Structure 1
Amino acid sequence: AFADVTRGALRLLLSGPTSSAGRPMPDGERPGPGGWNRIHLIVEDIAAEVARLRAAGLSFRNEIVTGPGGSQILLVDPSGNLVELFEPAESR
């Protein structure tokens, strides 16, 4: 299940445990109660952003995953916050 809720400039994306957000990471880690809470950044070209960030020394928790809504990848910032880069399907 997935829900996209907006109110004014606020947008909240909610993914259920059987959605793609419930998939484990390549190392086998699974989302805990509350899921993979993260900062969500929308990008126009996810492959280019990943290449740029990797060249700058950042590492990612997984590879790009593509589903009906778009493509996403996760990284951890220097403070330990989970960050998702997301390219909506309509921008491809």
Structure 2
Amino acid sequence: MAMIKLEHTGVMVSNLDRSIAFYTDVLGMELLGTLDHNTPGIRLAFLSYPGQTAQLELIEGYADELPDEGQVHHLAITVDDIEAEVDRLRAEGVRFLDEAITTLRNGARYIFFSGPDGERLELFQPARG
């Protein structure tokens, strides 16, 4: 079991298509893919710079209104065994925000927990391929 790398930073957006165009056309990122979340109305997009592993996750439909400065939703950490990491962190007294691990339609799995100042953090296990 191990935490492997910084997976992605999730940013809430009001219009996914407009944000994809900005991050690709203006900032030069590559669109890696989109995904409809299990929760109706939430759409995700994943982007990265060529040759880089850390990704930007754009989240549409999570909040009706965003503050003027934008909203970083969470920081995700890739793990190779999500159950083992959940058990390890619970033993350390970490507070989880979700009752259970969520499995997305593509097979990726995640669970949210809190950092010491209430920041949202995510354990993320990619879909096995």
TM-score higher than 0.5: yes
| 2:92 aligned with 1:61 | no
Q: Which amino acid aligns with 1:74?
A: F
- TM-fit CA distance, 1:33: 3.5
Q: Does 1:84 align with 2:122?
A: yes
Q: How many residues align?
A: 79
Cα shift at 1:32: 6.1
**CA 1:77 to 1:45, structure 2 compared with 1: closer, same or farther past 3 Å?**
same
Between the two structures, name the one with larger relative contact order (CA 8 Å, sep ≥ 6).
Answer: 2
| Mapped partners of 1:32, 1:47: distance in 2 | 32
Cα contact 1:68–1:89 (8 A) shared by 2: no
Match of 2:35 in 1: none
Give the structure with the larger strand fraction.
Answer: 2
Q: In the aligned structure 2, how far is the partner of 1:32 from the partner of 1:84?
A: 22
- In structure 2, stretches of 5+ residues that fail to align are 1-42
Give 1:52's match in structure 2, choosing from 73, 79, 88. 88
Identity %: 32
Which of residues 60, 68, 75 is equivalent to 1:16? 60
| Superposed CA RMSD | 2.1
Going from structure 1 to structure 2, the CA distance change for 1:76 and 1:32 (only over 3 Å counts) comes to farther
- Indicate yes or no: 2:109 matched with 1:71: yes
Give the secondary structure class of the aligned counterpart of 1:5.
strand
- Structure 1 stretches of 4+ with a deviation exceeding 6 A read none
How much does 1:67 deviate? 1.1
